[in-house]
Structures are given as structure tokens and as C-alpha cells.
Structure 1
């Protein structure tokens, strides 16, 4: 009988110990692990540069390319902030990745949805074009850490941020549409993040627009019962979807660039969705009283738990010092992601390029972002 009990204890505890053995190192920002994943991201950008220059197959464009290059830029920029001694190596890659996130082919699906109106060109439009917040934020982080950031790109960045500031101040709900008639609070959180980082990089005071946006997030975009942001809305503030954890998790990361207090409020709602078993955690996608299917935002839902939201939650868990939550979430990410080392590089085998870029950004997220 004692042997059975011991075997059950081992079976229950060993997987969580094994999958969580690196969690503390990531939480502390251990240079060896951070640099390994950073080098994997550099390798992706170098190979992408080569393929674009030679016209080779395998280039990632469209929405996924936009996300891959943006998150690579954010993750490497965060690494530079935490490790200034690595800035000389990574800052040029940050700028290249951010620049590629602004290529026309990255936003073609959005331009098509807006009947040919390209938000990066039609800056005087009254339409929101909130998707451009992703390259705008990446450009801001590149500008913040790269002393060689090109002057012409800075001029373009200034114009994009000015257009967002004008549109956001004019929005009574603090919402801008990504697609015609569809606003995503998460995308608008990225707009606010881009504006805030622009202020850090240039010294321009954006307090008025950021205060207006934060007030409307609390008044319109957060579900009072669950503490989660509503996934999709009309620009008039009407809900088009349920309050969900995937949008809240990614929003909490972006909001951390702009408003620490608001980001912590979102994190509290997000962590209320944590479900744990044998030392592993996952984030339940829908708030109490709501249900639905998985989609491209949440990833597959497994018994209602979101793969995406679980990964997103790593960022606020680390940024706000929730060591135990971070450890439980990391165990799950480790189990699903299958980290592998190859020389000096570290990658998560099942996530591919986008998964590695996302994890670099979330695993290196920290309080220095909103300084």
C-alpha cells in the first residue's frame, strides 16, 4: 500500500517539477535563457531578410507576419532594456523587424477589408485602422533603444502616432475600429501602448489622450462582473462578443506599456480565470455566465481553457511579480511548447516562429516597460 501511495505521489509531482524547473530562472530574467531565445529570434529575422532579398519561398506575410515581426521587435527591445550590454547586437535587429511589420504586404487583409484604404497612407481618415498599432508600437520600441533609428522612419512614426492621438481623443468610447464596424479593445490597448512609448522615445507629453483612453476602458470596455475586457465591440461601445480571457491577457501586456494601474486591474480579472491541476495552470477563456467556441484569438479551447490566454498570462504574471502564478503557467507552456536547445539558441518546438516571438515578448515582460 505504501508503495502505491509513493508511486502516486511521484506520478503527480514529478511532471510539474520537471516542467517547472526553469520557471524561476525565467522569472528572474536569467541571462542564459533570455539570450538563448533572443538568438532564436535573431536567426528568424536574418533568415527572413535573406529570403526577402533572394525571393525565396517561406516568407511569412499577412497578419501572421505582422505579429511575428512585431513581437520579435518587442521581445528583443525588452531584452535590450533589461540588458543594455546587448543593445549593440540586438537594437539593429529590432529596427529591421519593426520596419518589416509596417510593410504593405503585412496589412493586405486589413486594406482589403477597408475597400483599398491603406491606413498607413490615409492618415487623415476618420476610420480607426487600429491594426496599425502593432507596427506603431514596434517602431516606438525600436526608436527607444536604437540610436541609429532612421530619421525618415521617425518622421513616418510621428505622423502615425499623431493620427492615432487625434482619432482616440475624438472617440467618446475610447474605441477605434480594426475592421469596418468592429473594434477590439486589445488592439486599442496596443494603440495606447504605441502612443505611450512614442512619448518615452521623443519626450512628447501624451497624458491627455492616455487619460481619456484609460477612463473609457474602465467605463465601457471592461465587463463589471468578470473583470475581463469584451473581446469585440462596436465603436459605439456595444458588445459584439463576450468578455474573454485571450483578449484580456494580450491587452494586459499592451496596457503595461501605458498605464500600470489599469494593467494590474486587467491582470486581476485574468488571474481569476486561472484553473490549476497538479501544479499546472491554464486560463479559462470565457467569464462566468458566458460560453462559446475557440477562434484565432483564443486558439484551441481544451475543456474551455485557452492556449493563447495561458501564454499571454505569463506577461502580467511576471510583470506584477506573481511568482506562483507564473510558475504554474510556465509549467503548462513548457509541457505544450517543448523547449529545445541547439548550441546557444533556445526554441519552443511546437510554437514555430510566431510562438517563439510571442514567448520572448511575454517571458521578458517587466515593470520597466511603463517607466
Structure 2
């Protein structure tokens, strides 16, 4: 009897130990990745100087290396529209850092201007020039054609002008002319849309146009209220899909949809809208966050709204079960700018998991994104409420 009871107790303890071990293993498996991948989230959300400076210095090193390469007669390190995006987002990110940490402005403001100037290089917009049959939009500012892709260097120039006291006068004159052209074109558009390619308008690019106009106003004191109000009204009336709250990815200038409402375009539009119209940016962010999918403390953004589907492309990146890593990264900006700490933390965990941050000396980079990914993340991780007016 005693032996049988002892055997039963031993068997119970053994089963109990196995159950406890399994529970502990599951708890560790669930909690350890979210802790590890989220360990820097709060520092980024708060704008911790040491955390922010690591990625900022990485982008300064990129611009320095690019300058040395060019001085030696080398070709572009990052080509075409990817080069345009890399220099533009570097300028935006370092300008945002300068605004949030004024003590660093002397170091970063000149780099902002250098990056903004490089975003004007003709070879970086060659794809757009080719689509317009060799016509360079920067050379024909009197044209009624949209050339909305020029919003990217225009916004970079505006941020440089905002933070750099030594911004060159000849660049200021060129910037003024570009903004006047965009203001005239946007006010003349009944849909609030401007073509990026002939017959093809992207609401995200037009949001960048509005951002460039708004930042020009902040830098120069020029009143652009009327054009910003017109743009915002048409975004709400024409460009947002009412069922999903997402902007339509591609449209004709007449307001007809050429694509589905999608999260990647909405996320980037929400970031740009934050420079121009805070209320509209929050509306776009709300539609974007409705696409948020959560698992074990991680969040990611579903690219297509309900009732729509499609493949990934250069805007969304490859889709994994419908999830867009690009849209997930874009969502960091409105999450921080509008005070959504928990959303920011969940999104950052996913960014950390797939981005693989690496530290080397005083610099930090995300290994899987390359130069463009790091430039984008600097801009989105430092987007702040002072930009969303």
C-alpha cells in the first residue's frame, strides 16, 4: 500500500514538474522575444538622446561617405528614385532631430542642407524625366503638369531652410520658385491631385507636396492657408476610401481610382500630412491603425483594406500573409507624433525583429534595410508632435 502510494505521488510530482516546465517554457517563449525586441522602444518614443544619436550619426556617415565618393569621381552610391528617397529622408530625419534636440543643430543642420541639395540631382529623378518624355519638371516650373515627385526634394529643402541659418540664398530662390509652382498647380486641381507620372497621381506624393508648401510657410512666414485647406478638403472628398479609411494608392488626376485603398500609401501620407494639417493626419492615422494586427505583443500592418486584395510592390514591399513591412515602418511616425505609446511599442518590436539593429561605436544601423531603410526609420522614429500642426 505504502509503495503504491509513493509511486503515485512520484508520478504526480513528475507530471506536475513537466506541466510547470512547459508553462514556464511557453511563458519565456512568449515574453522573452517581446521584451528583447522592445527594449529600445521607450527610448525612441521619448527621444532619448543616446538612442537617437546613434542612428543620426549613421546617416551623417552615409552622407560623408557619399561626398567622398563623389569627390573621387565615383558613381552614385544609391541610384535613381532610391537615391532620391535616401537623401530626402536623411534630410528630414536629421532636421527633426535638430528640432527636438536644438543643442545638436550646429552639427546636423549643414548635413541636412547637403542631403537636400543632393536630392535635386538630375540623375536621381531620371525615371520620372523619362516618363515625361525627357521633360525635367525642375526646368519647366511654368508648366501646368504636376511633376509631384519634386515634392520630395522640395520638402527636404524646406526642412533644411528651417534648421540651417547658413542656407544658401540661391537655393532659397530655387525653393521659392518650386513652391510657387506647386501652390499654383494644387489650387488649380479640382481633385487636389497632381500627376507624378503622366496620367498617374499618387495621393501620398501630393501629401508630400502639401507638406513642402506648409514647411516653406514655416521657414519663410509665407501664408499658404488657402492651398493647404483646398488640398485637405479634396483628400477627404476624393482620395480617402470611405469604407476602409485608407487613401487610394494610385488615381487619375480626375479622381478615378487606379488601384485599391492601401495601408502603405496611407501610412506615408499620414507622415507627410503631419507637416501640413494635424487633424487630417490623425484621420489618416486612424484608418492606418485599423489595419493593425497584433500577436504576442508584436504588431504589423495589413496592406489591403477589407474587400480588397493584391500583390506586393515597391510601395508595400513583399507581403507576408498580407502584411506589409513598409506600412508597419511608416506607422511608427503617426504613432509617435500622436502619442500612441502602446501602438508605437508594438510596431517597434516588429521593426526590431525584422530590422536587426546593430551598434558599432557611437553609431546604430538596422542591418536588413540598407541605407534607404535606415534613412526612412530615422525620419519615422523621430517624427514628433511639433511637426503635426
Instruction: Give the TM-score normalised by the residue count of structure 2.
Output: 0.95
Q: Deviations over 1:132-190 (max 9, x none)?
A: 00000000000000000000000000000000000000000000000000000000000
- Of the structure 1 ranges 262-271 and 7-16, higher mean CA displacement relative to structure 2 is found in 7-16
Q: Spell out the pairing of 1:273-288 with structure 2 (5 A cutoff).
A: 273-288=291-306
- The answer to whether the Cα contact below 8 Å between 2:158 and 2:215 also exists between their aligned partners in 1 is yes
SS in 2 for 1:178: strand
Residue matched to 1:354: 372
Displacement after TM superposition at 1:5 (Å): 1.0
Q: Deviations over 1:15-54 (max 9, x none)?
A: 0111001101100000001000000000000000111111
- The separation in 1 between residues aligned to 2:221 and 2:74, in whole angstroms, is 41
Residue matched to 2:384: 366
Q: State the 4+ residue runs in structure 1 displaced beyond 2 angstroms.
A: none
SS in 1 for 2:140: coil
Residue matched to 1:229: 247
Residue matched to 2:331: 313
1:99 pairs with 2:133: no
Residue matched to 1:140: 158
1:208 pairs with 2:226: yes
Closer, same or farther: CA 90–159 of 1 in aligned 2, 3 Å:
same
Give the CA RMSD over aligned residues: 0.7
Residue matched to 1:19: 37
1:219 pairs with 2:219: no
Unaligned runs of 5+ in 1: none
Residue matched to 2:307: 289
- The separation in 2 between residues aligned to 1:7 and 1:50, in whole angstroms, is 51
Displacement after TM superposition at 1:58 (Å): 5.7
- The separation in 2 between residues aligned to 1:37 and 1:59, in whole angstroms, is 19
1:89 pairs with 2:87: no
SS in 2 for 1:216: helix
- The separation in 2 between residues aligned to 1:243 and 1:140, in whole angstroms, is 29
Q: Deviations over 1:96-141 (max 9, x none)?
A: 0000001111101000000011101100111100000000000000
- The separation in 2 between residues aligned to 1:319 and 1:23, in whole angstroms, is 14
- The answer to whether the Cα contact below 8 Å between 2:70 and 2:76 also exists between their aligned partners in 1 is no
SS in 2 for 1:346: strand
Q: Deviations over 1:213-256 (max 9, x none)?
A: 00000000000010000000000000000000000000000000
Unaligned runs of 5+ in 2: 1-18
Displacement after TM superposition at 1:9 (Å): 1.0
Instruction: Give the TM-score normalised by the residue count of structure 1.
Output: 0.99
SS in 1 for 2:138: coil
- Of the structure 1 ranges 7-16 and 141-150, higher mean CA displacement relative to structure 2 is found in 7-16
Corresponding residue pairs, total: 371
- The separation in 1 between residues aligned to 2:368 and 2:216, in whole angstroms, is 34
- Of the structure 1 ranges 187-196 and 3-12, higher mean CA displacement relative to structure 2 is found in 3-12
Q: Spell out the pairing of 1:113-262 with structure 2 (5 A cutoff).
A: 113-262=131-280
SS in 2 for 1:126: coil
- The separation in 2 between residues aligned to 1:315 and 1:171, in whole angstroms, is 28
Residue matched to 1:73: 91
Displacement after TM superposition at 1:60 (Å): 1.4
- The answer to whether the Cα contact below 8 Å between 2:208 and 2:269 also exists between their aligned partners in 1 is yes
- The answer to whether the Cα contact below 8 Å between 2:271 and 2:334 also exists between their aligned partners in 1 is yes
Closer, same or farther: CA 3–270 of 1 in aligned 2, 3 Å:
same
